A and B are shown apart, each in its own frame.
Chain A
């Protein structure tokens, strides 16, 4: 089993749609959780951290379920510019940061 698993997609959605991605992780001792965004052939960039209480940043909402060991990202009112690959990232302490393979999103006009 992979340490961090994501549905690779792609998710094809129209502009204005709401889309949700899930991610599961295997290490129950994981401490920190993030979503990164990666455009094609570019470096990943931090989108948002994920907190146990859930957190929101504009159109983006992230949630963490420690009991079920999954993380989610919700994007509301999708924009064309949201098209990218979204990476689920889990840190288990020390230097061990595990990246999921990513979920591809295409937002179409």
Chain B
């Protein structure tokens, strides 16, 4: 069966520090991968999606970047965190574009202080 792993679960970082969140999927190949952010009391906002290695699409301009160095690995990064980067970050996957259902990792609660 397929599983998705995301870490760390919580992270407290100072403003201006770098960020690296990692997500891996097991039990499948060539998944579509996504990074979402959920601010307190708000809906999930799609940040990035990827349909293959090295292929990254950004949905909103921001202080973050994403990379997909391997088929089942998706990384969210920032060189310098801002206070506004605080939120709940969720990695998700789908088997393909035709698949409609998203499967989420357990999330990372990021607090930038």
| A binding-site residues for B, Cβ under 8 Å | 4, 8, 32, 34, 41-46, 49, 87, 91, 94-102
Contact = CB atoms under 8 A, between A and B. Distances in A.
A6 to B, nearest CB: 8
A102 B43 CA distance: 7
Nearest to B39: A101
Contacts of A42: 106-107
B97 A95 contact: yes
Nearest to B46: A97
Nearest to A96: B46
Contacts, number: 48
A32 B42 CA distance: 21
Best-surrounded residue of A4, A44, A49, A87 (most CB of chain B within 10 A): A44
A46 B99 CA distance: 13
Given A94-B97, A95-B57, A43 B43 contact: no
Interface residues of B, number: 23
A8 B41 contact: yes
B15 interface: no
Interface of B: 32, 34, 36, 41-44, 46, 49, 51, 57, 88, 90, 97, 100-107, 109
Nearest to A94: B97
Contacts of B97: 94-95
B61 to A, nearest CB: 17
B70 to A, nearest CB: 20
B107 A87 contact: no
